[in-house]
Amino acid sequence: MSKPSCQLILALDLPDQQQALNFLDKTGGQLQWVKIGLQLFTKHGPDFVKAVADKGYKIFLDLKLHDIPNTVASSVKSLSQLPIELLTLHTAGGSEMMRAAVQAAQETAPNLKLLGVTVLTSMDEAGLQELSISQSPQERVVHLAKLGVEAGLPGLVCSALELPVLRKELGPSPLLVTPGIRPAGSATDEQKRVTTPKDAAQQGASFIVVGRPILKAQDPQNAVETILTDLHLPATI
């Protein structure tokens, strides 16, 4: 099977290390990428990241760093000791913070790709206004995404809704990593706007992040394989 241009990342959002590691054993051999978020990292720390990497997975560490440039750069240097390939930071931290992070990654972990988070999807127009931000969420996403790319970030996290505008504004180069994905027919949970794996891939996602449709599946291996098949389907016109 040739490597798909859009890859699947499992969001390993489970309460503890043992459940997470046990779960991975049920996903079969085709899953390559795992996202570890704040919940498990704050509970089990770097050892958990190493335990998942020891099972052969590539790791997306979703810590959404946001602090003064020196602190973020130092954190990137510390994290570069870990077997991780993707790491998030907030573009709202500003160009100087992002450039410091990019430089730290280049010096200590040249294969580590930093991903910028723009506007959290939990934030709407009213939430932005509360922060004295008059831009619409989409205007702000595009603004922050451009800032991130100009600062040297190789990629961004964005919703599937934002894929078309970001590909138009930024071209094919940046990695676009997209959550809020639901295979056709599966529960949407509290995600308000969902996109199928195939649609996200066709709209330019480099990676899709999928949690509960796999975590809650009766047969997780089958859920993974169905999504991978969907990612390989040719475009329908």
Residues serving a catalytic function are 64
Binds ligand C5P (CB under 6 A): choice among 82, 210, 223, 228: 210
Binds ligand C5P (CB under 6 A): choice among 20, 24, 27, 37: 37
Query: Which residue, 69 or 118, has its beta carbon nearer to ligand C5P?
Result: 118
Query: Which residue, 104 or 158, has its beta carbon nearer to ligand C5P?
Result: 158
Hey, which residues between 149 and 188 contact ligand C5P (CB under 6 A)? Answer: 157, 159, 179-180
Q: List, as one string, the DSSP characters of 6-40.
A: SEEEEE---SSHHHHHHHHTTS-S---EEEEEHHH
Hey, which residues between 3 and 32 contact ligand C5P (CB under 6 A)? Answer: 11, 13
How many degrees, rounded to 5, is the angle at CA 93 between CA 212 and CA 46?
A: 50
Query: Which residue, 72 or 121, has its beta carbon nearer to ligand C5P?
Result: 121
Binds ligand C5P (CB under 6 A): choice among 141, 177, 209, 224: 209
Quick check: 77 binds ligand C5P (CB under 6 A)? Answer: no
Tell me the helices (H) and strands (E) count for the chain, helix number first. Answer: 10, 8
Instruction: State the DSSP H helix or E strand holding residue 138, giving kind and residue range, or none if neither.
Output: helix 137-150
Alpha helices by DSSP H, listed for 35-111, are 38-54, 69-79, 95-108
